Amino acid sequence: MKKYIIPIISLILFASVSGCQKWKGEHTEIYSYTPPAANPVSDKAPLSCGGGSTVSAVKGTMLSGKTYTVQAGCDLVINPLDTLLMQPGVTLNMGAGSSLIVLGTLVSNGSKNQPNWITIPGITKNDAPGGLAPTADPAYAGKWKGIIGGPTCNLMVLRWTHVEYAGLTEGDATSKLADAGSGNQYSILFANYKGSFIMEDSWLYGGVDDPIRISAGKVAIFRSTFEKNGAIGGDCLNAKGGTVGTMAYNLFMGTATNGQKASNKGQAIGAPQTNLVMYNNTFVSGGYRQQQSGRGGCINYEEGAAGMYYNNVAINCRFGYRVVGNPVADVAHLSYGNNYQWADSLSVANQFYPTGYITQPQSTDIPSITTSAKYLPTNYQLGSIYDGSDVVQKNNPAFLNFPLPTSGHALSQYSAVGNFNFHLQPSSPLIGKGNTGIKPLITVPLDKIYGLSDPTPPGADLGCYQLNGTGNQH
Amino acid sequence: MKHSYFLNRLLLFSSLIFLFAFSSVAQTIKGKVDDYKTGEPLAGATVHLTQQGVNKTAPVNLNGAYAFKNVHSGSYQIQVNYIGYKSSQVYEGNINSTDEIKIINIDLQDASTQVAEVKITGQGNNKETDRAARGIEKNAVMIENILSANTIQLLPDVTVANALQRVSGVSILRSPSGEGRYAIIRGMEQRYNSTLVNGIKIPSPDPAYRFVPMDIFPSEMLERLEIIKALTPNMEGDAIGGVMNLVMKSAPNHFVLSANISGGFSSLFSKGRLFNAFDPSSARQSPATIHGNSYGATYADFNNKALTSDQSLNNPLSSTAGLTIGDRFLNNKLGVIVSASYQNIYRGSNSKRLIPNAQPDYQPLPNSPQFSDSFDRTYSTQTQRLGIHNKIDYAIDDKNKISLYNLYIHQNEFESRLSSDTLGLGLNSTNFSKQITLSNRSTLTQQTIYNSTLHGEHFLGDEWKLTWDGVYSRATRNMPDRTEFSYDANKAINSTGVVTNEYDNNTALTHHWENNKDQDISGYANLIYTPKIAGKPVEFSTGGLFRHKIRDAYYMEYTLKGGSTLYNNNFNSIPFTMSLPIDGTGNSNPGLSNNYHITENDNAEYLQARFDLLPKLQVLGGVRIENTNLSYLTQSPITVSARSGKYIYTDVLPSIHLKYALTDNQNIRASYFASISRPGFGEQVPYQIDGEYYKEIGNQNLKHITADNYDVRYEFFPGGADQLLLGSFYKKIYNPIEYYVVRGSGPSDLFIQPQNAPGNATNYGFEALATKFFGIIGFSANYTYTHSRVTTPKLLYAPTGANGQPMNSIINETRPLQGQANNVGNASVLFKSANLGLDMQLAFVYTGERLAQVSAYANLDFYQHAYNQLDFSFEKTLTKHLSFYGKINNLTNAAAKIYLKYPHDKIKSQLQEFLGKQDIAAQTLVQSDYYKTLFLGGFRYKF
């Protein structure tokens, strides 16, 4: 008997070990938030939220001529697979600190005669140069958060639509609903490389950081006007890794940093390389509210971005067209030419080809790169310091109403169109200098409502206004 | 480089083995003198030899050995005398020429043990000796290594963390100021290890994790430090690398008083590199805590004392002091010890670091390194540590005894960090312009651990024993009003490199509060039954524990901006405001998910048996069941997914340990155990905090880690403090948690996030340890080889699209576990002369190359280069009770250096100016931290 004791103990131990295995288990409960279903859109009462939630879900159609109101602090959410269609002539008044989160489809289908407004009511604009200091200007105050496209937003169309006074910090709750960043201060965010972002004939007024951030997407941004964009920094149209499309005939007044920027940073798995075609855009007084040194003022290509830029006009921008050498743009797939620049002063002219970067002067550039021995000498190396004194105030573009050189105000104070008019006089040296052989890169659907209605091809006149009446319609 | 160290180590190691052979002397009487109870060698005792009326004496050396050479043939008498012991009996005998060597081993009985022999285990100063430690290692049922108090006292280290690096198989991770902080045991980083005080798990003051910062413990409070590498069923099952058990000093047999005091300095703070000191802010609580989360704080609510009180100190004086008093009363039934330790240490480091860009370049090669920032930082750190502990044990009778243990540890760390960050390398900073963010951050971190344990032992008849513990523990960490000021220096540079224009703007002021509290109430009980079965003693034990844990974390940050006002070195002239008034309220805190409450209820039960299967083969086996039930709730609004969560899991952990006694002083061991590692508290909460260089985010989908562990070990204890240990281990780790650099929703966002590595990890290696004394000179060396592998998906950024378009794709990459070094070793030379009253130690630590940071991209992991540190310490007895001691750390000014495995001359030309001095052709140095040498000297008084 005794000799069996040890084996028996071993057996009991073994049995208890294997017996215990069936108690082994695992159970996990992670709280998961499901937004409520949407009700038909009402203009009778403010679109509201409550009960500890900031969410106000919306889908359906906002009718022509009606005004809708979003309660302060609410996130107006278009759920995945839902669509909100704003007919022409709709005003959507956003409450203080509210947002419009697009997880499904948003189409704001304004028209030339009946534009739409997504704005804060009751604010008086002062667009005179130097009329308000930036710190006092409501344009830069971020009254509401903005239109935040989530990663499931497949289509966002803004046609003949005014978007104003956005850019408030998203914060914890809003950013998590939209799967964006809590510190974001974008007036418009688009972040789906499979989706389409279309902006036609629209206006973006004000903003805090990047007024439009395209984290990724197919884009078509045509004939739109951008004013007072970015408080102390921010690139107006800032496209990151996985953005493909065209930006054309846009007018930028007083952007904090660049007007249009392309980078392949943050390219997602499966997303294409950033490839942007930019033509016939006009940039005025760009780059002066950027507090950091070395940033751009009109167009910028960097970090693996490919594309082209032709027929653009830069007036008194702090830095000229910038191609970055490190992290280097995809210079093998980047072409440019027929771009015009004007400088009131030597410091502007000295940055037509920004020092420290690799923008290659082109023979079609205006002013001519062979203007003088001082301006771009024969041994000029990309990004080196040169003397631009011979190209200051040369080739006056003869705008309808924007006297050059400017007088009475610092360049940084020209931040809104107001009474200025950047259409060309018939005497303008910009006429007929454009390259019309290049092609727009159209990646979005073409459709009168649910797509791009008019892919205007490159124009013969430099800048966003064509003498023949095409181009920017504002 | 690595190879030669490896070979040196092997050489040293093999020569030590060789030296274990004893040499012989003709016509000699020799032997050993040990304590009757503990076997401790009684160095300093006197052996008297009488032959034909002639008296000779010989001292007993450190090994406990004595010898009389050239002894005449004939009769002899031998007797040993030693203070505090009864004189030994007189040994009589005859020696003749054929004997040559006569070995006479003598045990002495402690004079105090004659009276009232109460059965008390775990008492007495004698446990603090190396010899006692060897005895525990030899007799332990599991695999462990031990540092005795005597060893620790002589070490150059004043904290437990630094002492840990002397243990076989252990390497340490350092804080930014160079102080060791966490232990990596057998290549398993800190999360895989647990910390016990007197066998009781203590909560951690760490803001996110369960592991305890080991630099908080002054090493002089320890009786011994045990590193347990194989778990038995009666131990908590949440350690995969090992368990650090801090056995604190217990009440002595007789009155004990010891005190020490010392002073010192770091050679870093001289020659223009001054120590930056500050007075902490008086704002203990954030405006949101004081006025509620709806209150809109403005500039007037903040106090900038932590910045405005800055002052430079030239060579500040560090100091330490310690006091221990213990005695035994009531006929030895009541023992009391109180011990206190105070340290005030000034340290620092100079650190340079390059930060990788969120995305590398795809040209000229896929995943070509790209950097965004170049940091230059200086740290000045003043650490004040106060540790007090107290143990009272009382023997009710010879069958029942209870004890009460109290531990209080408090640490204040004043850290001043001055940074210069050149950012946008190539983008905003080129050869014609520089954008440099300069910042000054003052941080006071206060950490406290309190533990109170009531322990009872009851003998219920001859075969039954019950032990129990009731435990209350609390760990807190408060970081009140961390204050940081930063601004951008924008410099224009002309073609000759001269700065032609500079303007300073973009001023920002940050006030930050971060508190956490972790509180445990636990109960342990063990029932031990030791019947004789078949004439053999068999020990059955069963028991369990219950722990109720509450953890709270609070995090609040306010950022104020100076707007467009330029900074002209006048902090007070900047009109700081909240960018938007709502940013001043607690409700708009973007980190609401950082404010959370956790409740964890764990219980565990075990059954184990120990018996001798064969006369020389001891078997210990059984099973443990660990039940975990954790729930968290954050302050995030209800529209935030993962704002709360609950995890319930049960693990069944079998283990078996075999010990075969080859001879009396040699064992062979083999063991298997299953164990787990629970994710850190903060890790499972979807928190987001700013780390030292990266933002860190949580992961609510983390699963806990499980592992199968196998060990074999050969042990040889030839006597004294000498030992030889050879071991090998193999671990299979399931769901290992590794830190990944992941990209956030924004294109520039880089986060560090813990994730379960897909696939399992393996970790194996072997350990060797040898200690040998030759009279007054001793050598000790240990070496551990570790090999771990895990395969994880990584990003590859390469021109793989149409027309050479760059695309990101996924490839699998196999690499070591984070923190694991293939080669880890220690070597020390000890000199211990009782005659001179002088002890000296020269200690060398080697930690081979290890993975410091995993990149999201293939081939861009950061590796810490092999690190060598040489330390020296000594202690000289001045009078009977007084000694002078000194400790010198980092004699060679070793630097911690981190490299990218990419040839630095292949880094793009635009980045070369930011690389700084490089020293390895095939790699790129991306971080270097220098600490310089630390000196400490003082007096110790013992009664």
Instruction: Confirm or reject contact between B749 and chain A (CB < 8 A).
Output: yes
> What radius of gyration, in Å, describes the C-alpha atoms of chain A?
27
Contact B426 A325 (CB under 8 A): yes
A289 part of a folded domain: yes
A327 part of a folded domain: yes
> What radius of gyration, in Å, describes the C-alpha atoms of chain B?
30
Contact A180 B745 (CB under 8 A): yes
Q: Which residue has the higher pLDDT, B357 or A76?
A: A76
Nearest one of A132, A184, A138, A127 to A164, comparing CA atoms: A138
Contact A266 B592 (CB under 8 A): no
Q: Tell me what the mean pLDDT of segment A384-389 comes to.
A: 94
B274 part of a folded domain: yes
A121 part of a folded domain: no
What is the distance in angstroms between the Cα of B909 and the nearest Cα belonging to chain A? 9
Tell me if B422 sits within 8 A of A297, measured CB to CB. no
B255 part of a folded domain: no
Whole-number pLDDT of residue B118: 30
Whole-number pLDDT of residue B525: 96
What is the distance in angstroms between the Cα of B434 and the nearest Cα belonging to chain A? 7
Contact B636 A172 (CB under 8 A): yes
Contact A17 B427 (CB under 8 A): no
Contact A293 B809 (CB under 8 A): no
A15 confidence band (pLDDT: 50, 70, 90): low
Question: Parallel, antiparallel, or unpaired for β B54-59 and A155-159?
Answer: unpaired
Q: Tell me what the mean pLDDT of segment A409-425 comes to.
A: 95
- Closest chain A residue to B911 measured between Cα atoms? A326
**Cβ of B303: how many Cβ atoms within 10 Å?**
15
Q: Tell me what the mean pLDDT of segment A177-183 comes to.
A: 86
pLDDT tens-place string over residues B346-373: 999 999 999 988 889 998 889 999 999 9
| C-alpha–C-alpha distance, residues A337 and B706, integer Å | 62
A179 part of a folded domain: no
Tell whether the model's pLDDT for residue A293 goes beyond 90: no
Q: Tell me what the mean pLDDT of segment A122-138 comes to.
A: 93
Tell whether the model's pLDDT for residue B111 goes beyond 60: no
End residue of a domain, out of B114, B131, B162:
B114
pTM of the model: 0.85
Tell whether the model's pLDDT for residue B399 goes beyond 60: yes
Interface probe with B: pick from A153, A292, A357, most Cβ of B within 10 Å:
A292
Whole-number pLDDT of residue B18: 40
B467 burial level (CB within 10 Å; 0-12, 13-18, 19+): middle
Residues facing A246 on adjacent strands: A220, A277
Closest partner residue to B611 (CB to CB) among A6, A171, A292 is A6
- Closest chain B residue to A7 measured between Cα atoms? B613
Q: Count how many domains chain B has.
A: 2
What is the distance in angstroms between the Cα of A198 and the nearest Cα belonging to chain B? 21
- Please provide the DSSP assignment of A256-267 as one string: SS-SEEEE-TTP
Closest partner residue to B805 (CB to CB) among A2, A30, A272 is A272
Tell whether the model's pLDDT for residue A44 goes beyond 90: no
Tell me if B852 sits within 8 A of B823, measured CB to CB. no
Range of the domain at B400: 262-942
| C-alpha–C-alpha distance, residues A246 and A235, integer Å | 17
B748 confidence band (pLDDT: 50, 70, 90): low
Instruction: Confirm or reject contact between B359 and chain A (CB < 8 A).
Output: yes
A370 part of a folded domain: yes
End residue of a domain, out of B114, B132, B164:
B114
B210 part of a folded domain: no
Contact A266 B431 (CB under 8 A): no
CATH assignment of the domain containing B803:
2.40.170.20
Whole-number pLDDT of residue B855: 87
- Report the run of H or E that residue B677 belongs to, with start and end: strand B666-677
Closest partner residue to B747 (CB to CB) among A240, A295, A324 is A240
End residue of a domain, out of B88, B114, B140:
B114
Whole-number pLDDT of residue B226: 92
What is the distance in angstroms between the Cα of B489 and the nearest Cα belonging to chain A? 9
Whole-number pLDDT of residue B33: 80
Whole-number pLDDT of residue B915: 87
Range of the domain at A314: 269-474
Query: What average pLDDT does chain B have?
Result: 87
Query: What average pLDDT does chain A have?
Result: 92
Tell whether the model's pLDDT for residue A188 goes beyond 60: yes
What is the distance in angstroms between the Cα of A168 and the nearest Cα belonging to chain B? 8
Q: Going by C-beta distance under 8 Å and a sequence separation of 6 or more, which residues neighbour residue B678? A: B210, B238, B628, B630, B704, B705
Q: Tell me what the mean pLDDT of segment B455-462 comes to.
A: 92
Percent of chain B with pLDDT over 90: 55
Q: Which of residues 607-666 of B touch A (CB under 8 A)?
A: 607, 609, 611, 613, 621-623, 625, 636-652, 654
CATH assignment of the domain containing B64:
2.60.40.1120
Q: Going by C-beta distance under 8 Å and a sequence separation of 6 or more, which residues neighbour residue B172? A: B161, B162, B164, B165, B180, B181, B182, B183, B184, B214, B847
Tokens standing for B118? Answer: 């109460």
> In chain B, what is the greatest distance between 2 CA atoms, to the nearest angstrom?
105
Whole-number pLDDT of residue A30: 83
B587 part of a folded domain: yes
Percent of chain B with pLDDT over 70: 92
Contact A28 B488 (CB under 8 A): no
State the Cα angle at B160 between B156 and B162, rounded to 5°: 50
Whole-number pLDDT of residue B576: 94
A228 burial level (CB within 10 Å; 0-12, 13-18, 19+): buried
Nearest one of B899, B850, B844, B886 to B868, comparing CA atoms: B844
Q: Which residue in the block uniquely carries the two structure tokens 């090493």?
A: B219
Question: Parallel, antiparallel, or unpaired for β A75-78 and A99-102?
Answer: parallel
Q: What DSSP state is assigned to residue A228? A: S
Q: Tell me what the mean pLDDT of segment B295-321 comes to.
A: 93
| C-alpha–C-alpha distance, residues A174 and A159, integer Å | 25
Q: Which residue has the higher pLDDT, A371 or B153?
A: A371
Interface probe with B: pick from A17, A22, A214, most Cβ of B within 10 Å:
A17
Dihedral pair phi/psi, residue B669, rounded to 5°? -120, 150
State the Cα angle at A309 between A303 and A311, rounded to 5°: 160
Tell whether the model's pLDDT for residue B377 goes beyond 60: yes
ipTM of the complex: 0.87
Nearest one of B327, B340, B280, B260 to B125, comparing CA atoms: B327
A136 burial level (CB within 10 Å; 0-12, 13-18, 19+): exposed
B765 part of a folded domain: yes
Contact A33 B431 (CB under 8 A): no
Residue type at B167 in one-letter notation: V
The 3-state secondary structure of B72-124 reads: CCEEEEEEEECCCECCCCCEEEEECCCCCEEECCEEECEHHHHCCCCCCCCCC
A350 part of a folded domain: yes
Q: Tell me what the mean pLDDT of segment B813-842 comes to.
A: 90
**Cβ of A407: how many Cβ atoms within 10 Å?**
7
Whole-number pLDDT of residue A19: 55
pLDDT tens-place string over residues B14-65: 433 443 333 334 578 888 787 765 666 776 677 888 887 778 877 777 667 7
Tell whether the model's pLDDT for residue A1 goes beyond 70: no
Whole-number pLDDT of residue B888: 94
Whole-number pLDDT of residue B153: 83
Tell whether the model's pLDDT for residue B112 goes beyond 50: no
Tell whether the model's pLDDT for residue A384 goes beyond 80: yes
What is the distance in angstroms between the Cα of A448 and the nearest Cα belonging to chain B? 31
Q: Which residue in the block uniquely carries the two structure tokens 């064509």?
A: A466
Q: Count how many domains chain A has.
A: 1
Contact B580 A215 (CB under 8 A): no
Residue type at B182 in one-letter notation: Y
Q: Tell me what the mean pLDDT of segment B622-627 comes to.
A: 96
Tell whether the model's pLDDT for residue A10 goes beyond 70: no
Instruction: Confirm or reject contact between B467 and chain A (CB < 8 A).
Output: no
What is the distance in angstroms between the Cα of A99 and the nearest Cα belonging to chain B? 14
Whole-number pLDDT of residue B11: 42
